[in-house]
A and B are shown apart, each in its own frame.
Chain A
């Protein structure tokens, strides 16, 4: 009596396992189609924001965890090629403006004025100036960023490039690609780089 039941169960499990394993791509495309029909454009937040570029698509496959090394290298190379440095060669702006940009959480939400400020909201995730106690911990502490790493041109380039496109250095970073995706302007990125790298910045004092 038992054995036909057991074999039927095994077959069922086998079939459903096959269906599940074979359809990961299918589930992904169903989910993407479901997203498209579940949103409406609102002001600056238009529906094309649901379209993924190659990096977003690849990074969505790893449920918030780091991708395997080969995929990570591919993503990092793809993004490193996008980093544009200022043509005047000067990477450091005004750290005081940088502090304001780091504090500013508005920008790009459908509830934000499209003509209003767009910030980096750095404090949402990072500790920077020690005076600001309300900081998040999604990213590492950046307190004494320049002081610990040195103020040299290579570190400046790294800091600027990291803000411009963090996925160039750490694939599938939680941090937005501020320059690559046009969130912050070149001048704003220079100002935030100064907040990290200027010896006079409160971050380094």
Chain B
């Protein structure tokens, strides 16, 4: 990611310098030299930040702390906390909940992943309306996402516990089967599906290694390291974000937050990761 971003910046710099040298203006040239130097500096800065982050601990802890505050604060029109939220193990039980998700919730009559369940609790307990609860599913620079912070907090309490996703309810079975199909579904102008990059061993895209998510070992290794703090973005990214951005690169339309396809794919991968020790929020490039 850093390498690619750097290449793009250098590429546009080369183009800019071409246009500007044609105008043969000394001022413009010096501007370009500065801009190109800045682009290189920013890439170098990113690498430096990456190294520093790896040495000094995971910045995901900042999201975890903010998420814990959000969980405990009295918020929304009803001014109640999320401590009464049932993530599957009973109201208020956070530890271990993520290792069981996604799962069927009778009150919603729906299979839900963590993100969807958090929105459900914000709506039913705190009386936010759904669009308020969903308005910033992913952080973007200054605008941080409450959902991603809550995800960081909830998942962090499952660190060290084995994945244990059940397929008991018929709707869980149905969702898993749909997830398996969607994983193989090829479409769009490029004919891409999840399988294009994630159904083979030992492959990489550019220099980035790709997990084979069709094997137990591959799914375990990948699923237990999300959510993750992404150094190249300076954001903590949830699993729904991971799927959203894969589909963007697949040239599909935009995956809706909390959609059934998101939940089905998450269930498919989470279930295949069963038995593996959950080890996130992690830190990635």
Instruction: Please report A residues at the B interface, Cβ cutoff 8 Å.
Output: 27-28, 30-32, 34-35, 37-42, 45-47, 49-52, 55-56, 59-65, 103, 105, 108-111, 123-125, 134-138, 167, 174, 176-177, 181-183
Contact = CB atoms under 8 A, between A and B. Distances in A.
Contact of A136 (B205, B248, B256): B205
Given A39-B256, A105-B4, A135-B206, A31 B251 contact: no
B164 interface: no
B72 interface: no
B186 A59 contact: yes
Nearest to B264: A34
Contact of A31 (B192, B259, B264): B264
A122 to B, nearest CB: 11
B119 to A, nearest CB: 15
B46 interface: no
A60 B262 contact: no
A133 to B, nearest CB: 8
B252 A50 contact: yes
A110 B187 CA distance: 15
Interface in B166-213: 174, 177-178, 181-193, 195-200, 202-208, 210
B126 interface: no
Given A65-B199, A137-B203, A56 B187 contact: yes
A141 B140 CA distance: 38
A30 B184 contact: no
Interface in B229-266: 247-249, 251-256, 259-262, 264
A91 to B, nearest CB: 23
B3 interface: yes
A55 B191 contact: yes
A109 B177 contact: no
Contacts of B188: 45, 49-50, 108
A38 B256 contact: yes
Given A64-B193, A135-B206, A181-B191, A35 B185 contact: yes
Given A30-B178, A38-B255, A39-B253, A183 B189 contact: yes
B243 to A, nearest CB: 10
Given A41-B254, A60-B193, 10 more contacts: A27-B178, A27-B181, A31-B264, A35-B182, A49-B188, A52-B186, A56-B187, A103-B7, A108-B251, A138-B204
B199 A63 contact: yes
A51 B200 contact: no
Contact of A46 (B193, B198, B205, B253): B253
A16 to B, nearest CB: 9
Contacts of B249: 109
14 contacts: A34-B260, A38-B255, A39-B252, A39-B253, A39-B255, A59-B186, A109-B249, A110-B254, A136-B206, A137-B204, A138-B204, A176-B190, A181-B190, A182-B189
B248 A111 contact: yes
B261 A38 contact: yes
Contacts of A111: 248
A111 B206 CA distance: 20
B214 interface: yes
Nearest to A48: B253
